[in-house]
Chain A
């Protein structure tokens, strides 16, 4: 450590105000504060509200994502073994998945952080940790065989158009990771839908055993072929094809526990989201005019990206609702919309992504009216107490 500190101290003057490399100050600053705790103190009045800073929050979310990531890697190997008929040991499957998933993660981070550094450099900001979580979320919601250049392009689109245009981390209207997925979904639909993309190696068809279908359970549900849907426990534990991180509801619940325990993810949003989905599902069951509407409610919670979206996407503090009452409304409507899109729109088997993006757009409106209502209520109270004094 001493050795690193020495190097940094040696080159530091060059990046200061009068140094010859001062244009790269932001880059240097980012590396220095990444390696060491900065020793600068606040000069003006302090406003300590919480010991949490952005770096801490991001690190906790990354830790919460680890169960889904590890399970996702293993599941990539497991599904591949199923498809090719070759049984493999636990370690082999994990290693196979690791090799498949790692390039996606690397591309996502390199592209995203590269753009963040350039943007910070151009604006004279300091590079912040905003992309750490987004960069991990993007690979987790992609199909495993998604071409790397498409992942890179989607990341670039999400960071530039979704975030930097609005002013960088904390200013974005939409969740950048979901925006990246939406970009792939609309721009390259053949890479993110259908039956060939969810299991590694299925696209080329090499060594795939006869009769193996890579269709996701959600696709079966959409087609009304309920007999093809795996058992509830398989869905819950996640032994199914799907985007890398979304399959295992159990791993996601572990992450949710971490987020809720540390107070970083809002349990209100998660609960409201589930309530919205269950309510809409029950309503569908009661009417049940088409096959999809008859799907038992609890299946909706473990199918597709619902759990992942509710825990990791909807709770994004930047693009979601900020007020406490707003969080209930925001989460509830996400749940409702996700099921509505799933059940009523034959074009999209999954509705979670579009539901969250849609509600992202409405979150400021919800907050606006909640704040307005609070102000009105307090004014009323103030008036009443004034009258009482008279």
Chain B
């Protein structure tokens, strides 16, 4: 590889594959089963889920990028602590930005922004990919995994908010006069708001995905 002079185009098929794989075949939540805890905690409503997804995309992308830049200078023995420092710095940045520009959502997400540090997806991608690859592919890989995570988050939050609160992004979607209190027949599903339902939702998504994608089924 060192002798190669030819420059790879910025968006070669290889790079695109790095971006697309985590969205379906290598999805961090449904296939690798990483980062499940936060997906259960922040998906009761669309808005926090969206903000959380964007935060994680930013952190995974830049953490992979920075670690990849430093990969030849980090002593192998202390690499975990170096990775933690980088990730923690990025998370603090994201947290401060959220507090400044989206205070309400930041309060809703509370501790879960800080806990992005412990999100297994980030450390997993750094260890498995960024330490052995150039900065640009690492960055794309990080972004791709963040998007894969975010998509599942938003999908789960969509159903949980629609069925659990009758709203989407806080707007009433189910007509008011459907509700029993207004003389209708409908009632919000209280179970959807509770965390167990998020777990069941993720399970159902995994089920649906595997029935479409037979090669994901373990023998």
Contact across chains for A191 and B187 when beta carbons are under 8 A apart: yes
CB of B70 within 8 A of chain A?
no
Residues of B179-208 contacting chain A, CB below 8 A? 180, 185, 187, 189-192, 194, 200, 203-204, 207
How many angstroms from the CA of A5 to the CA of B204 in the assembled complex?
42
Query: How many B residues face the partner with a CB closer than 8 A?
Result: 12
Nearest to A122 among chain B residues (CB) is B211
Task: Report whether over half of chain B's contact residues are helix, strand or loop; otherwise say mixed.
Answer: helix
Query: How many A residues face the partner with a CB closer than 8 A?
Result: 12
Give the A-B pair count, Cβ closer than 8 A: 22
How many angstroms from the CA of A187 to the CA of B196 in the assembled complex?
12
Nearest to A149 among chain B residues (CB) is B185
> How far, in Å, is A159 (CB) from chain B's closest CB?
14
Selected from A147, A149, A165, A186, the residue in CB contact (under 8 A) with B190 is A186
User: Which B residues touch A190, using CB under 8 A?
Assistant: 180, 187
Selected from B180, B189, B200, the residue in CB contact (under 8 A) with A161 is B200
Chain A 22-42 per-residue mask, 1 if CB under 8 angstroms from chain B, else 0: 000000000000000000000
How many angstroms from the CA of A193 to the CA of B200 in the assembled complex?
24
Chain A 148-180 per-residue mask, 1 if CB under 8 angstroms from chain B, else 0: 011000000000010001000000000000000
Nearest to B191 among chain A residues (CB) is A187
CB of A13 within 8 A of chain B?
no
Q: A165-B207, A188-B189, A191-B187 are in contact. List 8 more A-B contacts (CB 8 A).
A: A149-B185, A161-B200, A161-B204, A183-B191, A186-B190, A187-B192, A188-B187, A188-B190
Interface residues of B (CB under 8 A from A): 180, 185, 187, 189-192, 194, 200, 203-204, 207
* CB pairs A–B below 8 angstroms (22 shown): A147-B185, A149-B185, A150-B187, A161-B200, A161-B204, A165-B203, A165-B207, A183-B191, A186-B190, A186-B191, A186-B194, A187-B189, A187-B190, A187-B191, A187-B192, A188-B187, A188-B189, A188-B190, A189-B190, A190-B180, A190-B187, A191-B187
